[in-house]
Amino acid sequence: MPSISFLGTGSGFPSGERFFSSSLLIIAGKHLLVDAGEPCVHLLRYRGDLICEIDAILISHGHVDHVGGVPALLQGAMMLERKKPLVIYLPQEMITPLRAWIRALYLTEEGFGFSLVWRAWNSGLPSDLGGGISVTPHLNSHLKFSYQALSGFDATRPCQSFSLEVVAGDFRALFSGDLSSASELMPMLTRPTDVLVTELSHFSADQLADVLGGTPVHSLCLVHLSEEYANDRSGLREKLERLLPSLNDVMVPEDGEVLDF
């Protein structure tokens, strides 16, 4: 039975109640960490030996609330004497600076004690994770629109952000990552979807409902909420249940919550 542990459900806004984005998807015997916002290493350790069991880290994009926990996670794996290889999937432009950051923190890949494999996403092309599991990244415009207003930003610099589709047998899960608008979900919602885990910081609940109406989505999980929605989680859930009566479940998971599907 697939399950998702919501380690951190917060947005990029610092909060004393919610940690940064990170979810652990357990599916077909594989442990997949979707984004690695801090303090994911502590949250995984709290659950036992999961740091040593993760098969792959799936990074949607390079904002700090999605990648800030990577160095501590790798250090934790080293200190726990992990031996199992670890694959990190991420946007191409992140690989060199992230490896440099890790080395600048006095961590060496050669000294980890386990092999670390870096693999770049290719939009629309599935990656085979073994065990009948595939992950397909879908390029979105989140970073493009984020940086248009950033003074001094080099517009020629690559800035890729992805939504992630995980498929194992008949089970299909979508992780929106961060988007520029709810409409970017539409191309991914033409097929039956067991669970959609979507942010709700960069567009409204009404806009999301307009996109999801009539789509074959079974369950909806709302994470990475704007401060407005985070302060009224029950009201948000009730609103989307009313706007989307065809959905079986609308959930606003708390940090630490585990959902089985």
Tens of pLDDT, residues 13-62: 888 889 999 999 999 999 999 999 999 999 999 988 999 999 999 999 99
d(Cα 219, Cα 211) in Å, to the nearest integer? 15
The predicted structure's pLDDT at residue 92 = 96
The predicted structure's pLDDT at residue 1 = 87
- What CATH fold (topology level) applies to the domain 3-260? Metallo-beta-lactamase; Chain A (3.60.15)
* For range 211-223, the mean pLDDT: 97
* For range 199-227, the mean pLDDT: 96
The predicted structure's pLDDT at residue 116 = 97
pLDDT tier at 214 (50, 70, 90 boundaries)?
very high
* For range 74-85, the mean pLDDT: 97
The predicted structure's pLDDT at residue 212 = 97
Are the C-beta atoms of residues 86 and 109 closer than 8 Å to each other?
A: no
Are the C-beta atoms of residues 171 and 194 closer than 8 Å to each other?
A: yes
Q: Where are the domains of the chain?
A: 3-260
pLDDT digits (tens, 9 = 90+) for 124-181: 999 999 999 999 999 999 987 666 655 566 666 678 999 999 999 999 999 999 999 9
Which residue would you say has higher pLDDT here, 256 or 143? 256
Which residues, other chains included, contact 207 with Cβ-Cβ below 8 Å and sequence gap of 6+? 181, 182, 183
The predicted structure's pLDDT at residue 153 = 63
Instruction: Count H helices and E strands in the chain, helices first.
Output: 9, 14
pLDDT digits (tens, 9 = 90+) for 91-132: 999 999 999 999 999 999 999 999 999 999 999 999 999 999
pTM over 0.85: yes
64: left (phi over 0), alpha (psi -120 to 50) or beta: alpha
